[in-house]
A and B are shown apart, each in its own frame.
Chain A
């Protein structure tokens, strides 16, 4: 069980990440707010809790790896790397601008990025290759990869699921960001994929569930995944798209939405308030 003070510390970080995401996107510009905010607690729990990761040693061969396969949500990873000091804070204002280091999707030109993702369905394969390679080199490093529920429609993802199970890759943890909304609407209406847990089990994976905004539960479930031997684990995380910004919650409008000045201020106010009153 995670300690209360650790939980509190990471909860705070999660709200900091949300504030960073909003600031990065800014006013009058499109940005992937929804799918980034749904991951704040998960990413905070990984980078500030569970991962063996030193921001001063980004190329340590034994570092734990974190990849966002649904690459448009990389803003939350940028935010974590800014908070860790791996990405200079002034880069946040230069998101998706010429001369900036923060691309619209993960790119190796950004410090701390582990792979190029964003063409959906590829991250789990890349993570599998990393895991197999680390195992060959007898490295203790773990590989974490976030996939989206909309992304599950990509066939390659299931090819990777079969491969990771075939190789019993227990250093690999996939985290399914089940926020139930994809680019053009609710996943249930766009391309419903029922019985997700059963599907993963049938593909040979260990399946765990978690409330994706409950930091204590996330820390515990990550421990459980690490302790599970003999095969890869997927954590199905129930999340809210746009979590923490009321007008962006549970809507496709802020999958890649544009905030007005008023909305921008409201978002930061709400996040600050949540951070202040959090239990």
Chain B
């Protein structure tokens, strides 16, 4: 039985990969308990490298491992894994297109108590802008497991943002997974919601609410933020009257931006973002409280969809 906790699923998957392939090594920067890479340490102490609180060195060291034929996984909080190491990821890893796996743990607001410095709300934007980088955001622990199974053979570097907490299961049983694929989790003809991470389950709730009010809504899980399947975005955006994106990330540079980039030059319905405005996070007592503070809720998604539909009516009446 898969744990609903994404970190636990990650740690267990890393051990599974380690058993399967001797090339898998793990590097940690003193957050092994938070990231759950500690599970790998227990199983494979010789292939686990404690690099101390020195993320930049950890990243370039991983490049050295990859250049010698290994598949290194490096770990930190998303904010440090992407930001502190940006130049090392860019130069040591992405330019030579090395198969380094970068685990951005406690992504988004999921480390709710630690506040601005520890909440990675712009990591996907940073990572998405790097040539050669693949960027993933699993919506539940099943997707974490599926995604990890792709890590042995996927060419080039991968950054994945992992939520710290338990998330509801949204991945349908038996749904085949591959990096790059986006999944339609619900069909509907009036509104399309593109969501990632924790916002996928909230999008599904919003779709239910909208349905009871007579608005038929499709929900698409974008767990591969890059490379984005542009054709799929266009296909899923076709025919609806409103498009909402929902992400636990800044509205600058995340999946909202990616969806609009994908839809450029193509006629489509109005788009609105549900996400974190251009701001840092903040400390809170609980995760849900913080998500509500930033309006990352199913209510907000439903409200946004309705206001887009209303706006469209208004435009039509003016014309």
Seen from chain A, the residues whose Cβ lies within 8 Å of a Cβ on chain B are 61, 107-108, 114-119, 121-122, 125-134, 136-137, 155-156, 159-160, 162-163, 166-167
21 A–B contacts from the bound complex (CB under 8 Å): A116-B96, A119-B87, A121-B56, A122-B87, A125-B56, A125-B61, A125-B63, A126-B63, A129-B60, A129-B64, A129-B67, A130-B67, A131-B64, A133-B65, A133-B70, A134-B68, A136-B25, A136-B70, A156-B60, A159-B54, A160-B57
Which residues of B have CB within 8 Å of A163? 51-52, 54, 57, 61
Chain B 196-225 interface 0/1 with A at a Cβ cutoff of 8 Å (1 = within): 000000000000000000000000000000
B257: interface (CB < 8 Å): no
B81: interface (CB < 8 Å): no
Most buried by B among A116, A130, A166, A167: A116
| Chain B residues within 8 Å of chain A by Cβ, number | 30
Q: Are B91 and A129 in contact (CB under 8 A)?
A: no
Which residues of A have CB within 8 Å of B192? none
Most buried by A among B60, B67, B87, B88: B60
Q: A115-B96, A116-B91, A136-B25 are in contact. Are A122 and B70 (CB under 8 A)?
A: no
Cα-based distance from A134 to B87 in the complex (angstroms)? 25
Least CB distance, A111 to chain B, in whole angstroms: 14
Which residues of A have CB within 8 Å of B70? 133, 136
Cα-based distance from A131 to B65 in the complex (angstroms)? 8
Instruction: Find the A residue at minimum CB distance from B49.
Output: A132
B148: interface (CB < 8 Å): no
Least CB distance, B49 to chain A, in whole angstroms: 7
Q: Among the listed A108, A129, A136, which residue makes an inter-chain contact with B62, where contact means beta carbons less than 8 Å apart? A: A129
Instruction: Find the A residue at minimum CB distance from B62.
Output: A129
B268: interface (CB < 8 Å): no
Q: Are A130 and B64 in contact (CB under 8 A)?
A: yes
Cα-based distance from A115 to B91 in the complex (angstroms)? 10
Cα-based distance from A131 to B60 in the complex (angstroms)? 13
Which residues of B have CB within 8 Å of A128? 57, 61, 64
Which residues of B have CB within 8 Å of A137? 68-69
Q: Are A122 and B88 in contact (CB under 8 A)?
A: yes
Cα-based distance from A205 to B92 in the complex (angstroms)? 24
Cα-based distance from A127 to B64 in the complex (angstroms)? 6
Most buried by A among B65, B68, B95: B68
B46: interface (CB < 8 Å): yes
B238: interface (CB < 8 Å): no
Those of B28-63 within 8 Å (CB) of chain A: 46-47, 49, 51-52, 54, 56-57, 59-63
Q: Are A126 and B69 in contact (CB under 8 A)?
A: no
Cα-based distance from A235 to B46 in the complex (angstroms)? 29
Q: A122-B92, A125-B61 are in contact. Are A115 and B46 (CB under 8 A)?
A: no
Q: A108-B96, A156-B88 are in contact. Are A126 and B61 (CB under 8 A)?
A: yes
Least CB distance, B122 to chain A, in whole angstroms: 21
B104: interface (CB < 8 Å): no
Instruction: Find the A residue at minimum CB distance from B51.
Output: A163
Cα-based distance from A112 to B273 in the complex (angstroms)? 48
Chain B 77-97 interface 0/1 with A at a Cβ cutoff of 8 Å (1 = within): 000000000011011100111
Q: Among the listed A114, A129, A155, A162, which residue makes an inter-chain contact with B52, where contact means beta carbons less than 8 Å apart? A: A162
Cα-based distance from A127 to B69 in the complex (angstroms)? 14
Cα-based distance from A133 to B72 in the complex (angstroms)? 10
Cα-based distance from A156 to B282 in the complex (angstroms)? 30
Q: Among the listed A61, A119, A132, A167, which residue makes an inter-chain contact with B64, where contact means beta carbons less than 8 Å apart? A: A132
Instruction: Find the A residue at minimum CB distance from B60.
Output: A125
Cα-based distance from A166 to B51 in the complex (angstroms)? 9
Which residues of B have CB within 8 Å of A129? 60-68, 72
